[in-house]
Amino acid sequence: MIAAAAPAHRFAVVSDSNVAPLYAARLLSQLADIGEIAPLCVIPAGEAHKTRDTWAALTDQLLDAKLGRDSTVVALGGGVACDMAGFVAATFMRGVPVVHIPTTLLAMIDASIGGKTGVDTDHGKNLVGAFHQPSAVIIDPQLLDTLPLAELRAGLAEALKHGAIADAAYFDFICRESPSLLAEDPRRRDVLALNHVIEKSVRLKVGVVAADEREKGARKALNFGHTIGHAIEMLSGYAMRHGEAVGVGMLLEATAAEREGITEPGTAARIRNALQIAGLPVVRPAGPSATSVLQSMQSDKKSRAGASEYAVPSRIGVMAGAEAGFTVRLPDAVVAEVLA
């Protein structure tokens, strides 16, 4: 599949310290059949390492290995590996192909799809990056057998977001099937239901991205939960998983939008119930003040003229603000009340 989508003289694999010991050797041996292999590039696992320093180290490894423009970068890992490998591919030699092999549910249905790449800074998440579409995304659901259950739950938060913004029946499906999707023993999980979640979420996101690749309008809907979620994730020192933070962000943003009459009453309660069924948190970390969260949100790339913008549903499955670019303004005072 890689040879067909992104033929190259040499292949560089970017993985992380959790995934590489499990799967890198098999991938490298397969790649050796279609081209020359550059050294495996392994980055420390975790969002805290998605930085410009890591980008520089990876780029130097490719330069030291004398890779040229006839190379392809292959990402093997979760969202951090996909984001880092994508950004390296977007900038190395002014752009080489990248293929994603996501190994977490969150990466399968989110980070690997849509071409957003980038790194975090002290000012916020993903503030330095580029759009660089992958030549292929290769998803093997069996890779989830070795995924910690907490990471599987975090991926379901993103799937719930897809249902909340575009498909109420899909949202209800996830709520109904969560117990079978989250069985601790992978052999007891409903494989057909899990495959449906992956395929449905990928199709929903691809449809949105195809209509608005550079996030000028409809793609902003995918940011539901992310304005608040990114802020609380960063302020937690990335102790809170991305999916967990997005879940709490969805609940808080929907609550604030309900108070403003933008979102149908009861929507936040449905989101809370769905998160609880999936075993996800429904409160933000207690440490940072509401003021510090608001200040962090103002540095987010989604803000305009210093004011935060929110993508929120008018009800489950339908987004508000379509006529105004799929974002709405919520008063800081209301958001602060909800955060508190």
Query: Active-site positions?
Result: 94, 116, 158, 205, 215, 219, 223, 226, 230, 242
Do the strands 98-102 and 136-137 form a parallel or antiparallel pair, or are they unpaired? parallel
Residue 170 neighbours by CB under 8 Å, 6+ apart: 159, 162, 163, 200, 204
Residue 308, burial from CB neighbour count under 10 angstroms (0-12, 13-18, 19+): buried
C-beta of residue 134 within 8 angstroms of C-beta of residue 74: no
E-strand ranges in 104-244 read 116-121, 124-131, 136-137
Report long-range pairs for 24-32 (Cβ below 8 Å, ≥24 apart). 24/76, 27/74, 27/76, 27/101, 31/2, 31/74
Residue 248's identity, in one-letter code, is V
Q: Which of 87, 83, 229 is nearest to 158 (CA)?
A: 229
List, in sequence order, every residue forming a beta bridge with 318; answer none if it has no partner.
Answer: 315
Q: What is the DSSP string of 215-273?
A: -SSGGGGGGTTHHHHHHHHHHTTT-S-HHHHHHHHHHHHHHHHHHTTSS-TTHHHHHHH
E-strand ranges in the chain read 10-16, 36-37, 41-43, 71-77, 98-102, 116-121, 124-131, 136-137, 313-315, 318-319
Classified as helix, coil or strand, 101 is: strand
Q: Which of 59, 67, 30 is nearest to 43 (CA)?
A: 59
Give the pair of three-digit tokens for residue 242.
Answer: 């991305």
Indicate left, alpha or beta for 126 from its phi (over 0: left) and psi (-120 to 50: alpha): left
